[in-house]
Structure 1
Amino acid sequence: MKKVILDLATTLDGFIEGPHGEIDWCIMDDDMDFDGFLLGIDTIFYGRVSYDAWENYQPEEHAHPEEQEFWKKIHSKNKLVFSSEKRVDERATFIHSDIAEKVAEIKKQGGKDIWLYGGAGLIRTFIQHNLIDVYRISVHPIALGSGKPLFEDLKERLNLKLIKTNVFKSGVVQLIYTPE
């Protein structure tokens, strides 16, 4: 069965973006093997705002070839957008109701795992409905003091079991958990 993997960056003080939506603090090291992660997924779950912001993103024309290839890989994935907005889009399937039921159906389909990209509202919904199978949290060596927290409005404790830790040359520490 496919797994839903929340893979995201957070600051040392627990924010997934700064107070004005900034993510300029995110580090991408070549030893992070993000390509390996992308090879293990065939689907990306987006919230509508994140989808609108990133689905059509193209690096600048003179960007490094590795960055261009990175975005080609992301854009090649099957995209599902969770939104109250009913919309038809040839690049994605929009889901507007019965989230837990739809996710269960998708997980039963063949293929590779699913990247829960976000945004924050969708991540919060998935946490509240226990729809995340793996938490891959990359903690960056920076504290912002304010911003959008990863674990916002938890209704109850979220008990996780650490299954792996990766330390990268930049000082980023990736913590991989499964729910208990």
Structure 2
Amino acid sequence: MRKIVLYISMSVDGYLATKNDDISWLSVVEKEGEDYGYGDFYKDVDTYIVGKTTYDTILELTGGVLPQAQNLDCYVITRQDIDNKEGVKFYNGDLETLIHKLKSEDGKDIVCDGGGQIVKMLMEKNLIDEYIISVIPIFLGEGKRLFKGGVDTINLKALPSKYFETGLVQLHYIKQ
């Protein structure tokens, strides 16, 4: 069965963006030739889920293109009624229904790339099977939290973490 994997970055103090949706601080770990396992991870993924705010941020950074749409089935979770475009499906239905539908289909894993509200919605229904969280060596002090709270306890099993020369630590957990 396909898995839902949260594959995301956060600051040491738990933020995924500044309060203005700025993610330029991620560049503190940029190093030529280092992709932190991104390429290998995406070999086992064929579906991408992201929230509308994160989608808009990606478009701003890439000049209006969602790079994942070139190789993956992409779903943008939104409350708005938006027509699908350029390989992107805008979904405003029940998220749990979508996840069960995707998991029941043949295919590779499904990756969630945020944002915090989408992560919370998935966690409320205990739908995330695996967590890969890259912790960036920076304190932001404030911003948009990755984990918003308000969900029931979810027991996880730790898999080996990875430590990189740039200070990035990649945590890896699976649902028990």
TM-score, normalization by structure 1: 0.83
Select the residue among 62, 73, 85 that pairs with 1:58.
62
- Aligned residue for 2:174? 178
List per-residue Cα deviations over 1:132-178 (Å, max 9, x = no partner).
11100111111111111121132322322111211111111101101
Note the alpha carbon deviations across 1:6-62, whole angstroms, 9 max, x for none.
Answer: 111111111111233221221244151211122221111011222233258536xxx
Pairs within 5 Å for 1:1-180: 1-26=1-26, 27-29=29-31, 30=34, 32-55=36-59, 58=62, 72=67, 75-90=70-85, 91-180=87-176
Q: Give RMSD over aligned pairs.
A: 2.1
Gaps of 5+ in 1: 60-70
Cα distance change of structure 1 residues 47 and 16 upon mapping to structure 2, 3 Å threshold: same
Measure, in 1, the Cα distance between the counterparts of 2:22 and 2:57.
Answer: 13
- Using the TM superposition, give the Cα deviation of residue 95 of structure 1 relative to its aligned residue in structure 2, in angstroms: 2.1
* Aligned partner of residue 177 in structure 1, secondary structure: strand
CA distance in 2, matches of 1:20, 1:81: 20
- Fraction of identical pairs, as percent: 29
Counterparts of 2:151 and 2:46 in 1: how far apart (Å)?
31
- Give, in whole Å, the separation in 2 of the partners of 1:41 and 1:144: 30
Unpaired runs of at least 5, structure 2: none
Instruction: Using structure 2 for the length normalisation, give the TM-score.
Output: 0.85
CA distance in 2, matches of 1:112, 1:7: 15
The 8 Å contact of residues 45 and 108 in structure 2, kept in 1 or not, is answered as: yes
